[in-house]
A and B are shown apart, each in its own frame.
Chain A
Amino acid sequence: MNAIEVEHLNKTFKVQKNREGLKGALQDLFSRQYNEVAAVNDISFSIPVGEICGYIGENGAGKSTTIKMLTGILVPTSGKLNVGGYVPHEEREKFVRNIGVVFGQRSQLWWDIGVIESFGLLRKVYGVGENDYKKRLDELVQRLDLGELLSRPVRKLSLGQRMRCELVAALLHNPSIVFLDEPTIGLDIIVKTEIREFLKDMNRQHGTTILLTTHDLQDIEALCSRVIMLDEGRIIYDGGLDTLKSRWGQGTRITFQFGNHCPLPRLQALTSELDVSWTADNDLHAEVLVPGEMSVSDVLARVVGHADIAITDIKITETTTDEIVRQIYQTGSATVPTPAVAEGGPHSHA
């Protein structure tokens, strides 16, 4: 069963064109020119119940716009939407009882009153029964360690404390689908880890479906089995994080530091039977790129142990998700690059 179904979803905004200068401003006063900007451009995907899905993309790629349509805040220009059995913008008030929303940059809580008072008010708004509320609150407070924060007003909380309270506020009514828009923005590493752990547990225990946007790929690595990548309003990748890594990952990079001069041709000759590519800044330093399917030890075995090559240091690094994603953002496409291009030296291609 799918928790979220999206078919050919579009959202275009009319953006006013501002002409230059005072004369332009006067012209704008009487006749305005508009540009149509497609924030979300014909996207389709579905998320099964109980999945944690990461939604990533550069700033302005259309992530928030999608989330806002999925939560019923915005009305789509065209396309079909079904979230938890509802069309979000049509039956908004019934629909939102079933979802939880956290916007990292906005607060759900009342600024001046104690956190617990905010929770009490939300209980009434969502019509949660007294017993359910107590049980749920106890569970959340214990899990997120909020005990002594509850009586403090929100304006006196640190960002990390506030964020944990925001999570409780969004989850008090025990929603089956949760949307998180940059939930870890601006948080320190400890709170980030805590929140990730918490979300993972919630997903495991309650089978909650989670869709989250983030710029921190560690969130994605820690939580998501699946990522959807967006660029200029289009989906450019939808699938497992592992697949993304193995398809885009350039394999492993081995960096050698030599004690004596070791020219590049010599190294290339040693590994001539293997399909690897060498690069070197000078004779004392060289790098080799080993494709994913090849074993690192094969390459090492061929280089290490020659009397004329004194190796002082070896460093083995794997391409990180950050690098992969940066590369995809730059090229604007997630189609797999041909190995020849991906593995050439840094100066041989653009």
Chain B
Amino acid sequence: MYYIGLVVEYLKNYMKTRLTYRADFWVEVVSDLLMQASNLIFIFVVFGHTNTLGGWSESEVVFVYGFFMVPFGLFSCFVNLWNFSERYIVKGEMDRILTRPAHNLFQIFLENIDPPGLIGSLIGLIIMVISGGQLGIELLWWHIPVLILFAISATLIYTGIYITLTSLSFYSDSPTGIIPLMYNIQNYGRYPVTIYNRAIQFLLTWILPFAFVGIYPASLFLGRTEMTHMAWLTPVMAATFLTIGLTSWNVGVKKYRGAGS
């Protein structure tokens, strides 16, 4: 209850700040949308040259992309660790965080909350509806609750992976190279994993499980039975990776050395 109250308060504060910088807000929304649009155009270009991709049709791949956008939007809204190392470790703002009575990681999430990200999720849903319609998928009673479950699980997979990587900042001064690399790798998760070679499939499934933020859970709605068992693993993977992330974070905080004076 306490934590939900805090989310509301920080969101209010976000809005107050953003009202002073309105132009900024819209620039962010528009640039986000342009990036998503360019990804989508890329898919259309690929299917301009071929009819199927590893046995998946254009509409199916677009549907997967739509699903992929939902947890990614949630993740970029609520879990923004992009400049953690610079802001909290190098500048020492972690000091302030640690002297306040809420979990430190949660405070960091709240301070970097970024609601424009949610617009991506909304557009993802719209894409799913449109391409689902083209594929003739009927909306069944279990679709909505499972979609919510999978979207949240996928968000937590992102969260787990990024917390783990970010907690390296507590040991090394600037592991800045890793996060942009991850942002590249995660994009592989929105294409059918079967098109990659075995090593990459293994990597995307078990080591950096980005296949679980796109193709696996989305396949359930598409009725691709070969992946059903993987789809249902999504919440399990979420729990596992979130646990790993939180553990390494909590260990890392103990190693925090502070900055400057």
The docked-state distance in angstroms from the alpha carbon of A121 to that of B14 is 11
Segment touching B, from A40-48, A102-110, A277-285, A314-322: A102-110
B198 within 8 A of A: no
Which of A93-101, A139-147, A327-335 lies at the interface with chain B? A93-101
- Are the C-beta atoms of A93 and B103 separated by less than 8 Å? yes
Interface positions, chain B 165-206, Cβ under 8 Å from A, are none
Determine the chain A residues whose CB is within 8 A of the CB of B9 once the complex forms: 120-121, 124
Min Cβ gap A321→B in Å is: 22
Q: Verify B13–A101 contact, CB threshold 8 A.
A: no
CB of A117 within 8 Å of the partner chain: yes
- Pair B101/A74 contact, Cβ less than 8 Å: no
Interface 9-residue window, one of A65-73, A202-210, A254-262, A289-297: A65-73
Whether B6 and A125, one on each chain, are in contact in the complex, defined by CB atoms closer than 8 angstroms, is yes
Known contacts: A73-B256, A74-B257, A124-B6. The answer to whether A68 contacts B101 by CB under 8 A is no
A234 CB, min distance to chain B CBs, angstroms: 19
Q: Does B142 contact A (CB under 8 A)?
A: no
The number of residues on chain A lying at the interface, defined by a beta carbon within 8 Å of a beta carbon of chain B, is 34
Do the beta carbons of A99 and B5 come within 8 Å of each other? no
Q: Which B residues are CB-close (under 8 A) to A117?
A: 13, 16
Residue B102 interfacial (CB < 8 Å):
yes
Q: Which residue of A lies closest to B21 (CB)?
A: A112
Closest beta carbon of chain B to A120's beta carbon, Å: 8
A124 neighbours in B (Cβ, 8 Å): 5-6, 9
Known pairs A112-B17, A113-B17, A121-B13; A127 contacts B101 (CB<8 A): yes
Hey, what's the 0/1 contact readout for B1-37 against A, CB within 8 Å counting as 1? Answer: 0100110011001001100110000000000000000
Question: Does B49 count as interface, using CB distance less than 8 angstroms?
Answer: no
Query: A113–B9 Cα gap in the complex (Å)?
Result: 13
Interface set, chain A 64-90, CB cutoff 8 A to B: 64-65, 68, 71-75, 89
Q: Which of A68, A93, A153 contacts B102 (CB 8 A)?
A: A93
* B101 contacts A94, C-beta separation under 8 Å: yes
Are A106 and B93 touching (Cβ within 8 A)?
A: yes
A110 to B13, CA, bound (A): 9
Which residues on B sit within 8 Å (CB–CB) of A64? 258, 261
**A34 at the binding interface (Cβ < 8 Å):** no
B99 within 8 A of A: yes
Q: Give bound CA distance, A93 to B2, whole Å.
A: 13
Interface string of A106-144 (1 = CB under 8 A from B): 101010110001001100111100000000000000000
Within 8 A of B (CB), among A159-191: 181-182
Q: A105-B261, A106-B95 are in contact. Are A93 and B13 (CB under 8 A)?
A: no
Q: How large, as a class, is the contact surface on chain B?
A: 20 to 34
- In chain B, what residue has the closest Cβ to A104? B261
Is B98 in the interface zone, CB < 8 Å from A?
yes
A177, chain B: closest CB distance, angstroms: 12
CB distance from B109 to the nearest CB of A (A): 14
Residues on A with C-beta less than 8 A from B92 are 106
B95 interface neighbour in A68, A75, A125, Cβ under 8 Å? A68
Q: How far is the CA of A105 from the CA of B258 in the complex (A)?
A: 14
**CB closest residue in chain B, given A126:** B101
Q: Which of B17, B100, B103, B256 contacts A74 (CB 8 A)?
A: B256
Residues of A within 8 A of B258 (CB): 64-65, 68, 73-74
- B261 — which chain A residues lie within 8 A by C-beta? 64, 105, 181-182
Q: Are B20 and A112 within 8 A (Cβ)?
A: yes
Cβ-neighbour of A125 out of B101, B255, B256 (below 8 A): B101
Could you say which of B99, B101, B102, B260 contacts A71, with CB atoms under 8 Å apart?
B99
Given the complex of chains A and B, what is the CA–CA distance between A327 and B9 in angstroms? 52
Task: Count chain B CB atoms within 10 A of each CB in A65, A71, A89, A124 and give the residue with the most.
Answer: A124
Per-position binary interface string of chain B over residues 141-184, scored 1 when its CB falls under 8 Å from any chain A CB and 0 otherwise: 00000000000000000000000000000000000000000000
C-alpha gap A153/B92 in the complex (Å): 22
In the docked arrangement, what's the CA distance between A13 and B16, Å? Answer: 41
C-alpha spacing A101/B96, complex, angstroms:
9
Closest CB-CB distance, B246 to chain A, in whole Å? 15
Note all chain A residues with C-beta closer than 8 A to B99. 71-73, 96, 99, 101
Beta-carbon contacts of B243-261 to A below 8 Å, as 1s and 0s? 0000000000011111011
A13 smallest CB distance to B (angstroms): 6
Among residues 186 to 223 in chain A, which have CB atoms less than 8 Å away from a CB atom of chain B?
A: none
User: Within 8 Å CB of A93, what residues of B?
Assistant: 101-103
- Starting from the known contacts A75-B255, A93-B102, A113-B13, 17 additional A-B residue pairs (CB-CB under 8 Å) come to A13-B257, A64-B261, A72-B99, A73-B258, A74-B258, A75-B256, A92-B104, A93-B101, A106-B95, A106-B96, A108-B96, A117-B13, A117-B16, A121-B9, A124-B9, A125-B107, A127-B101
What would be 9 A-B contacts, judged by CB atoms less than 8 Å apart? Answer: A73-B256, A92-B104, A93-B102, A96-B99, A97-B101, A103-B96, A110-B17, A112-B21, A121-B10
6 tightest A-B CB contacts, nearest first: A112-B17, A101-B99, A73-B98, A124-B9, A97-B101, A75-B254
Report which B residues bind A (CB closer than 8 A).
2, 5-6, 9-10, 13, 16-17, 20-21, 92-96, 98-104, 107, 254-258, 260-261
